[in-house]
Chains A and B, each alone.
Chain A
Amino acid sequence: MQTPTTVDQLSLKQSAEIVAIDWTAISETEGRRLRALGIDEGVAVEKLHKGMFGLNDPIALRVGRMMIAVRKAHAQAISVQPVAATIAA
């Protein structure tokens, strides 16, 4: 369970820490927006919801005390280290 993975691969309610983001897979504006919404290296996230009919797109993440919707394409660019405990806000 503790092997690094990407956000789209996380199971629901799973907390993780962002270890790396592949900024080259994301446009410059979207990268800025991602960071503005608090998604960045070193941040704790938790996967909260999947999209309609259980499709893994979009994905709702807890970031701090916010809930952020991201698409699968972005989630795949976000590498995380799953953590066992609940959120570290």
Chain B
Amino acid sequence: MTKAAPLIVLAGNPNAGKSALFNALTGARQKIANYPGVTVERKSGGFDLADGRPAELVDLPGSYSLDPTSPDEEVTRSVIMGLQEGERKPDAIILVLDAANLDNHLRFALEVIALGQPVIVALNMMDLAERDGLVLDPAKLEAALGVPVLPTVAVRRRGLDALSTALESRLQQSTPAVEPVVGKLRDHGLRKQAKQIANQAIVSETAGRRWSERADGLFLHPFIGPVILFAILFVMFQAVFAWSEAPIGWIESAGEWAAAAVETNMAPGFLRDFIIEGAIGGVGSVVVFLPQILILFLFILILEASGYMTRAAFIMDRMMASVGLSGRSFIPLLSSFACAIPGIMATRSISDPRDRLTTILVAPLMTCAARLPVYAIIIGAFIPPTAVGPGIGLQGLVLFGLYVFGIVGAMIVALVLRSTVTKGPNSGFLMEMPKYQLPRPRDLLIGLWQRAWIFLRRAGTIIFAATVVLWLLLTFPKVPEDSAMSQVDYSAAGRITNVIAPIVKPIGFDRDIALALIPAMAAREVAVAALATTYAIDAPDEEAEAKSLTERLQSRWSLPTALAFLAWFVFAPQCISTIAVTRRETNGWKWPTFMLVYLFVLAYGAAGITYWSAVALGL
């Protein structure tokens, strides 16, 4: 073999511990991209073979069968068969099997082995199998399958060297070491054979401790289960506010320090204004929400890694079914609370196309973390921080209410869509609920780091660009000294806003808000940066400029306007990335256009009703 970097793929059932093995083999050397033309994630990383040669490792999406029932399984199939566009044919396949779930996982393994490609089997999670009272003989399995079988415990890095050595020697052989021992079998026969081989490999089997089942007695309890679920969600959203206070303070201080440093070290002029007001002020007011986004993602990652997420889906399925969705949509929708983009991407695991489309279309109604900056600043300015009960603040309650508002909106929209544009028979809900696992801190950290990086990159590119463009539009042309007009009104942005302002005036939005809505098309959180920039430029003197954005909002906005602004952002589709990902996931402009229109109509209506009601109530 003279190839520089052989391509090794990891394949196996979902929950076989593939990702843990991938993390253990590659460490932090990972790249996440998409397969061309489809929206399935390609996770790759480098690792060294036993002889020190570098190899590329790709973690394929979990599959139950080579007979695909989802886009994920489709990709796994074509990569293994060497038919995937943009991917070489793998030099070797590592099949990851859950030792405790052998008869089910062997089904897929037998299908893959039957293809006659170089395969080695990682018999993973041997420790958990033993704890479950299951004693296995890898040698017997090896004899039955005709391919090397290596016991591993990926999360403890056990068996990795042996796996690497076996892989190395397997790569040395140019032809399959052993003739395939199984023929092309389908479904029933395959299952029987899997069962038979599993039985040969199982030395002894006792009931063992089933703590996972006892936990389910509580978590899936018909009454306690839902209470626990909502308690977890409530704690999650309270934590997003409570835990983030200190780190937000640090980021703010850092921003102030940077602005002060620029001020003392640079000569006054355009560039200094640009850096302080445009760059540090604009981007800083968005980066400040990184702690909240990370806390939310930490919760979601823990719920996913522990196996609880599927229980949440189970509990929610009946309710989701009542609006024509399934519990499977619950996970993408819950992820959308962090960001609609991973949420919409997670819909790929929904096999029913109508279910999937409906989930994509309502995902932006879930309050994503990017809306938090907007909510946080408005709630902070207009809702008093009084306590309405032990440990429950009014501000947190209003925030919770906005989340509920979005959820209820999504349910109604889903129901309407399912009986109109995505009409069709109700799909099923079939899902494996894996055993509970303690999330591995290392895996959580890798996940968190990837999310933080995506957010910071957004802040550094789209948000930065939008902020800069807005700042330029607001700064030029310069208002003449003798003009009675303010800088904002005279600027280019002010003139564009003149067109929009009359449209949003009925729902209580003044010109400054209309102005902020323009750059907020790039990303919602830019609305805050835009307001900050607008008010900083419009300030008549240094003293007014020093006033915080909160104080400025309080003095300029009425309560009905503030509430209408909140209602607007529950629905408004102000995120170019979401539109882009929807276009990619639905393969065309039809659905993103539909999404844009219906969300703007809803946002306008919700803001209007809120404003008119609040005014009528004399708020």
Which residues of A are in contact with B by a Cβ distance under 8 Å? 26-27, 29-30, 32-38, 40-41, 43, 48-55, 57-58, 60, 63-71, 73-74, 89
Contacts and interface: CB of A to CB of B under 8 A. Distances in A.
A40 B187 contact: yes
B429 to A, nearest CB: 5
Interface of B: 64-65, 67, 69, 100-101, 103-104, 107-108, 132, 187-188, 191, 205, 213, 216, 220, 222-223, 225-226, 310, 313-319, 321, 326-327, 351, 426-434
Nearest to A38: B104
B302 to A, nearest CB: 20
A51 B101 contact: no
A71 B188 contact: no
A29 B107 CA distance: 17
B112 to A, nearest CB: 14
B318 A33 contact: no
A52 B428 contact: no
Dominant secondary structure of chain A at its interface with chain B: mixed
Contacts of B327: 58, 69
A74 B317 CA distance: 14
A52 B65 CA distance: 30
Interface centre among B101, B104, B216, B310 (most CB of A within 10 A): B104
Given A35-B188, A36-B107, A69-B433, A52 B222 contact: yes
A40 B101 contact: no
B318 A51 contact: yes
Contacts of B351: 29, 33
A54 B221 CA distance: 8
B429 A58 contact: yes
A70 B429 CA distance: 6
Given A33-B64, A66-B104, A60 B314 contact: yes
A17 to B, nearest CB: 13
A26 B313 CA distance: 21
A72 to B, nearest CB: 9
A65 B101 contact: yes
Given A51-B315, A52-B318, A53-B222, A69 B69 contact: no
Nearest to B190: A35
Given A40-B188, A64-B103, A70 B222 contact: no
10 contacts: A30-B428, A49-B216, A51-B314, A53-B226, A58-B317, A69-B327, A69-B431, A71-B317, A71-B428, A74-B428
Nearest to B225: A52
B185 to A, nearest CB: 12
